Structure 1
Amino acid sequence: MDRLVKPDVEELNLVFIRGQKCSTTFALTNLMHTMSVAVFLDTTNPTRFSFHHALVVLPPLATVSFTLFLSQSSDQPPNIAPNPDTILVHSSIVLAGNTNQENLHLLFSKSGRHIFNDATIPINFVGHDIIDFLLSSPTSKIVNHSFILSRAISFCNNHELNSLLRSAAKTGNLLFFSSLITVGADVNHRDVDRESVMSLAIRSRNVDMVRVMVESNFVIDHSVDRFLHDAACVNGVETMEVLCMNYLDIDINSVNPRGQTALHIAANHGYIEVLEFLVTLGSDSDVVDNKGWTPLHCASSEGHVAAVEFLLNSSVFVKYAVTKEGKTAIALAYENDHMDLYDMLYLRDVLHKAATVNDISGLKKCLAEGAAVNGKDQNGWTALHRAAFKGRVESVKLLLSHGARVDVEDDDGCTPLHRAVDAGHGQVAMLLVAQGARASTKSLIDHMSLKNYHSLVDPLC
């Protein structure tokens, strides 16, 4: 015979609850038909665990329950490693009348063949708080996450699974997230404020988690969900693509309680790729929020130069829009000391207008104040394009003397020389060619009549 008693479990699962002295029970059965058996229980970590009765006599074939206690309450589990603490079950046959505690202690105090080591029972910590602890711990510091997770999950109820799913979404932990869904966590669960798990997943910047939710049949509630706004907050272009491809009824111009579209949010953060994606899909760059702010107001107020430039090119009149307080984008830039926007939002317009009307004094003043001589308008025109198109020789000379590029192209692929020839201004055309503009190009011929081309360009070649 190799043992006297048999446990009813191969391993013991202890549901860990933060701040409580947790306990669990198991049973031992005496395998002897005619003799009593003394049992002594110990653990590999006696300071951590205790028993209600560690030394007991079991009558023949009797089964007795034992309770294991975690000795002290704690905010985190003491040991969740793959090699856990264990219960050590020792037994020995006892004769009748020799069962008082003093004699039993003496019996187990001496090693020998009379002592049987009947079982070694691993102690596993399981439950909601274990998974929550794993989620908040660096993966590198806990060996075999997935094994511990799968065991701990089986002791969670539906409410706990849904709570943990939200925690996994917040931390962006895809392994835990997928495991929780597999065992029954509800992807469509919402909290008391109707916030969805999808919103948390998007804000965690984990696009794979968003894909898992889509594949798990997540349902959008268009009355409260503003997922494009959530994605815009975290520069989530890829997430936006996933959402728009799988939810074709998503409204690209939906607004939050402040009246802001996702474009407002992206502009406020200066996320260029998001702005480009939204505008390409049809987001309205002229829309105003509850304060009368356009996305340009948002970008200007925060000083996002690239975003301001993109939004200016997306709308002809947006730079002149005023808020409910009567403020333009340039006024908001001034208020917040974003002087690098001065040229883009104000000086450029003045420079282009001066070039158009041949206002030399105005041109000099703008350039002295820092206007970018090669700054483009929403059509890609520079001040030199405008002066050339209007035949303003003096303006062309002044702009060239301040570094204006002769071969810069507008949105139609036309240079200032194209515009001068197209409008029939031979003197300006010759001036530009003298400054290095390329005259013999197929695009010039394509842009005007052959007669007009030869009359203006032949003398230059």
Structure 2
Amino acid sequence: MDRLVKADVKEVNLSFSKGHKCSTTFRLTNLMHTMSVAVSLTSSNPSIFSFVQSLSIIPPLSTSSFTLLLSQPSDQPPLSSPLDTVLVRTCMLPTGKAHQDDLRRLFSRPGPHIFKDATIPISFVGPHVVEFLLSSSYKSLEIAFLLPKAISWCDKSQLTSLLRSAARKGNSHLVSALIEAGADVNGKESGSPSVMSLAVQSGNIDVVQLLIESGYIMENSADRLLHDAAAMNRVDLMEILCLGYVDIELNSVDDHGRTALHVAAINGHVEVLRFLVGVGSDPTVVDSNGWTPLHFASSEGHFEAVDFLLNNSTYVKYALTREGKTAFTIAVDKGYSNLYDLLHLNDVLHRAARLNDVTGMKSCIAEGAKVNSRDQNGWTPLHRAAFKGGLESIKLLLDQGAQIDLVDDAGYTAFHRAVEAGHLQVALYLVASGARANVKGLKGKVLSDLDCFKNHPSLVTSFRLEEEIA
């Protein structure tokens, strides 16, 4: 005979709850038609598990229930790999009666009269077990072994709550398992971020992709997904979000009226700024205090971010906050002198060069203005002075290190601009100072082909230019 009793389960599932007494019940059936059976229950870990009645007698063809207890309440399930087990031992009892001491003596003597009828694994199940596996240092193989059973004992609301925790942790394996088990990716929790927001904040792109593929519905009025990705400098997350949600609102604002572009500017994340502007974000949007992204980039001293924003919005440098401050004023308040030229001195120097105001130029350069800075058309102060015929300004600029042959956005040098405006003495001075009279202009045209020379043929003669200059 192989066994005297049969268990009604192949595995004992113990629903674990933090800090509470945990127990579970299973049943054993006597397979003998005419004889009672004595039963002894022990666990592989008696310090953790106990039984309400470890020794019992089951009458012929009868069934008895047995309760397994977790000995002490705990904040975490005492998981083990391999699993702990319940050992069921039996012995035929012809008399059908025996005291507990008799049964104890019966099972204390090994021999052929003792049957080992079953070894039943003990599994901890329920949401608290899943939470523990999520936060523990268990290896992936162990989790893969323990997780499915623990999840199978969770209802839909528990699965959805666990999904939020898994998304927050960036655990793609658990997120996938929970969704497959029935967790609602669009489930809401009052006052808390969405599961997608938690996934983005975790930085795990696989979890974000899983949620998109599983039907997460983005809400432009509530989700601040681009804001979160911008704060982390994660262009890859922003790309997958824009691909997954073609109707994503690029200029959505948070509680302070700030867009994702504001967030990127605050953190100086230039690649994020490039991406957002590239897909259509507006660099001139102001927050609830009238601050543009440029104001924030200036406030934090982010030179590259300031430079990028200026290049993508010509007039944003003049925008005023509610307190009446420009980005330049804010940079001055914070002492970021490396931004002065970009935000203000560049304009002042160009204006002084246009007016041939040598004193103003000297003062501006002394404050830190860059002599080779460009305006929105690519003109340097030297272009400006040459076009206006300001010889003294040109002398000062060259003395201060101005590069003589820089070209503007149209492909013209300061020499071109002097010729265009008919300023012969300025043009001659520039050539004498090293400007190349035979430099090619826009699209490779030689100077004699350019409109500036056609308008002033005497200059062509003065420079003895040939029809084609290589």
TM-score scaled by length of structure 1: 0.91
Q: Give the drift of 1:260.
A: 1.9
Equivalent-residue separation in structure 2 for 1:134 and 1:407 (angstroms): 67
- Is residue 264 from structure 1 mapped to residue 265 from structure 2 by the alignment? no
Equivalent-residue separation in structure 2 for 1:436 and 1:84 (angstroms): 86
Q: Give the drift of 1:367.
A: 2.3
Match of 2:168 in 1: 170
**Which of 174, 178, 184 is matched with 1:180 structurally?**
178
Deviations 1:31-90 (A, max 9, x none): 222211111111111001111001111111221111111111111121243x11111111
Match of 1:211 in 2: 209
**1:418-429 pair list within 5 angstroms:** 418-425=416-423, 427-429=425-427
**Which of 287, 291, 294 is matched with 2:292 structurally?**
294
Match of 2:71 in 1: 71
- More divergent stretch after superposition (177-186 vs 224-233): 224-233
CA contact (8 A) 1:253 1:262 kept: yes
Q: Which secondary structure state, in structure 2, belongs to the residue aligned with residue 324 of structure 1?
A: coil
Structure 1 unpaired stretches of 5+: none
Q: Give the drift of 1:164.
A: 0.8
Match of 1:2 in 2: 2
- More divergent stretch after superposition (292-301 vs 419-428): 419-428
Give me the identity figure in percent: 56
Against the structure 1 CA distance between its residues 187 and 399, is the aligned structure 2 distance closer, same or farther, given a 3 Å change threshold?
Answer: same
- Is residue 91 from structure 1 mapped to residue 112 from structure 2 by the alignment? no
- More divergent stretch after superposition (253-262 vs 312-321): 253-262
Deviations 1:107-136 (A, max 9, x none): 111222221121111111121111111222
Q: Which secondary structure state, in structure 1, belongs to the residue aligned with residue 176 of structure 2?
A: helix
Match of 1:251 in 2: 249
Equivalent-residue separation in structure 2 for 1:410 and 1:80 (angstroms): 73
**For residue 54 of structure 1, what is the amino acid of its counterpart?**
S
Equivalent-residue separation in structure 2 for 1:448 and 1:402 (angstroms): 27
**Which of 374, 390, 393 is matched with 2:391 structurally?**
393
- More divergent stretch after superposition (41-50 vs 389-398): 389-398
Against the structure 1 CA distance between its residues 385 and 203, is the aligned structure 2 distance closer, same or farther, given a 3 Å change threshold?
Answer: farther
Match of 2:41 in 1: 41
Q: Which secondary structure state, in structure 1, belongs to the residue aligned with residue 118 of structure 2?
A: strand
Q: Give the drift of 1:167.
A: 0.8
CA contact (8 A) 2:439 2:447 kept: no
Match of 1:52 in 2: 52
**For residue 446 of structure 1, what is the amino acid of its counterpart?**
K
**1:44-443 pair list within 5 angstroms:** 44-81=44-81, 83-96=82-95, 99-138=98-137, 140=139, 143-193=141-191, 195-425=193-423, 427-429=425-427, 431-432=429-430, 439-443=437-441
Equivalent-residue separation in structure 2 for 1:18 and 1:457 (angstroms): 93
Against the structure 1 CA distance between its residues 367 and 150, is the aligned structure 2 distance closer, same or farther, given a 3 Å change threshold?
Answer: same
- Is residue 31 from structure 1 mapped to residue 35 from structure 2 by the alignment? no
Match of 2:14 in 1: 14
Deviations 1:258-283 (A, max 9, x none): 22222222212222122122222232
Against the structure 1 CA distance between its residues 206 and 428, is the aligned structure 2 distance closer, same or farther, given a 3 Å change threshold?
Answer: farther
Q: Give the drift of 1:430.
A: 5.2
Equivalent-residue separation in structure 2 for 1:379 and 1:139 (angstroms): 61
- More divergent stretch after superposition (387-396 vs 18-27): 387-396
**For residue 395 of structure 2, what is the amino acid of its counterpart?**
K
Q: Give the drift of 1:339.
A: 3.0
**For residue 306 of structure 1, what is the amino acid of its counterpart?**
E
Deviations 1:352-384 (A, max 9, x none): 222222222222222222223333333333323
CA contact (8 A) 1:422 1:448 kept: no
CA contact (8 A) 1:203 1:233 kept: no
- RMSD in angstroms over aligned alpha carbons? 2.6
Q: Give the drift of 1:459.
A: 5.7
Against the structure 1 CA distance between its residues 51 and 434, is the aligned structure 2 distance closer, same or farther, given a 3 Å change threshold?
Answer: farther
Q: Give the drift of 1:256.
A: 2.6
**For residue 167 of structure 2, what is the amino acid of its counterpart?**
A
Against the structure 1 CA distance between its residues 354 and 252, is the aligned structure 2 distance closer, same or farther, given a 3 Å change threshold?
Answer: same
Q: Give the drift of 1:336.
A: 2.9
Deviations 1:274-293 (A, max 9, x none): 21222222322222221111
**For residue 260 of structure 1, what is the amino acid of its counterpart?**
R
- More divergent stretch after superposition (129-138 vs 410-419): 410-419
**For residue 127 of structure 1, what is the amino acid of its counterpart?**
G
Equivalent-residue separation in structure 2 for 1:398 and 1:22 (angstroms): 87
CA contact (8 A) 1:80 1:124 kept: no
TM-score scaled by length of structure 2: 0.89
Q: Which secondary structure state, in structure 1, belongs to the residue aligned with residue 39 of structure 2?
A: strand
